[in-house]
Each structure stands twice: as C-alpha cells, then as structure tokens.
Structure 1
C-alpha cells in the first residue's frame, strides 16, 4: 500500500507520524511550498498520476489539496482540519473535474481549532453535498489545529479499519 501524505502550510510530516504511517504501507511525503505554487493540486496530480497511490492523508492546507486530489485520482482520503472554506490568503487553483468522489473520505475537524473554524468547515462541507461516496465527518471536541500523535494514531486506525 502507498500512502501520500500532504503536510500543512508551514509544516512537515513528523518522524513519529511517519513511523506510524509506515506500519500501514510506504509513505510518500513531498515537501511542498503552497505559497510559491498556486497550482499545487495539479502539480501533485501530474507527479503521482503514474504511481499507485492507495490513500491520501492531508492536514490543514494539505487537507484542502488532498480533498481535491482524491477526487482527481479517485483515491480514499483522510483529512485533518482541511482548509476547505478558506486557504489563509494562499492562492490555490482548484482543477476542473467532472468526476465525483468515488472513494471514502473521512474528515476530522477540531472543535477548538482557531485557525480553521469548525463551523466554517462544516458549512463548507455540507454545501458540497450530496456526495456520491461515503463521507465520514468526525468532530472532536478537544482537538485544536495541531494533531497530537494520540489522536492521529486513533484516527488513522479507524480510517484503515473502515476501508
């Protein structure tokens, strides 16, 4: 299994989270500069279209990119606090696609997130309905914007068990 992990705006995949993900498969975690590349989703699609990506996992800005990339690549996705309703003033083009999501998407939202407000994210997600796939939405009352290893591990485990 190959997992494509998309980090947030100014973050990287931590060694502890990489080690956890590697128990499920090979991990690709490209270093991305969303500010310098307003076409990051298209860039990622072109870079990985000939590889067998089985799962996309993204956090924050990586969750935003992962949401649309999973649609383009027809791949299941697990997204943590995705920057769907707004992108922190970072311009990112959303590629046109007539495809619908055809694989499971699990979105984890932190009720205490002050960077990407849960209410804004939920409103944006519900505006995208109806989905043609399984959409799981988890709202964690204690979660802020950063994803602690314990929550990351729990949500990863739930996601893979549900596939």
Structure 2
C-alpha cells in the first residue's frame, strides 16, 4: 500500500507519525510550501496521479489539499482538522465536481481555535456530496495539533474500515 501524507503549513511529518503510517505501507511525505505555490493541488495531482497511491492522509492545510486531491484521484482520505472552510494561503482548486464512493474520514477537534470544528462541519454538510462514504469523528479534547496517541488511534480506525 502507498500512503501519501500531506502536512500542514510549516509542520512536516514527524518520525513518530511516519513510523505509525509505515505499519500500513510505504509513505510518501513531500515537503510542501503552500505559500509559494497557489496551484499545490494541481501540482500534487500531476506528481502522484501515476504513482499508485492508495490513500491520502492530511492535516490542516494538508487536509484541505488532501480533500480535493482525493476527489481528483478517487481515493480514500483521512483528514485531521482540514482547513476546508478557510485556509491561510491562496490556493487554486481544480475542477473537482467528481464524486467518488471512497471513504473520507474527518477528525475534528472541538478545542481547535485555528480551524473551528463547527465551521468544518458546516462546510462538510453543505459541500460534500452525500454520495461519499463519510465518517466524522468529533473529539471533545482535541485542539489543532494532533497528539501521537490520537493520530495512532485514528489511523488504526481508518485502516480497519
């Protein structure tokens, strides 16, 4: 299995989290500069469309990019506090009117002050087609940063689907 991990703004994948993901397959974790590339989603699509990626995992801005990339590549996705309703950098979104049947699992922290869970929920309810297989995990004590224990638990749940 090939896993594409998309980090948030200036927060690359840690060794501990990479080790968790490597239990499930090969991990691709590109170093992304969202601020300097307003076409990051298209760039990622062009880069990975022929690389046999099986799953996309993203956090914050990487969750934003991962959401749209999962639609373009028709892949399941695990998204931690994705910046769907707003994002810190300008990003062009390619035509993603695509609806796929793969799982999209959202992990939203109710203590997140950076990306409010209620804003993400509103976005999901209004803009994610009901044809998608969607799971939403609301974690009452989770803030924006994802502790290793939460990361491991959610990754395990995702892969057990």
Band of TM-score, shorter chain: over 0.9
Point out where structure 1 has 5 or more consecutive residues left out of the alignment.
none
Q: 1:148, CA displacement in angstroms?
A: 0.2
Q: Distance in 2 between matches of 1:27 and 1:4?
A: 6
**TM-score for the superposition, normalised by structure 2:** 0.98
TM-score w.r.t. length of structure 1:
0.97
> What is the distance in 2 between the residues matched to 1:30 and 1:86?
22
Counting matched residue pairs gives 161
Q: 1:154 to 1:23 in 2, by over 3 A?
A: same
Provide the residue aligned with 2:44 in structure 1.
44
Alpha-carbon distance in structure 1 between the residues aligned to 2:17 and 2:127: 30
Deviation string for 1:114-134 (max 9, x for gaps)?
Answer: 000111111111111432121
Superposition CA RMSD, Å: 0.8
Asked whether the equivalents of residues 71 and 102 of structure 1 are also in contact (C-alpha less than 8 Å), the reply is: no
Identify the residue that residue 26 of structure 1 maps to in structure 2. Answer: 26
Q: Classify the secondary structure of the residue corresponding to 1:121.
A: helix
2:149 aligned counterpart, secondary structure? helix
Deviation beyond 6 Å, 4+ runs, structure 1: none
Provide the residue aligned with 1:15 in structure 2.
15
Q: Is the 8 A contact 1:101 1:131 kept in 2?
A: no
Residue 73 of structure 2 corresponds to 73
Instruction: From the superposition, tell whether residues 98 and 121 of structure 1 become closer, same or farther in structure 2 (CA, over 3 Å).
Output: closer
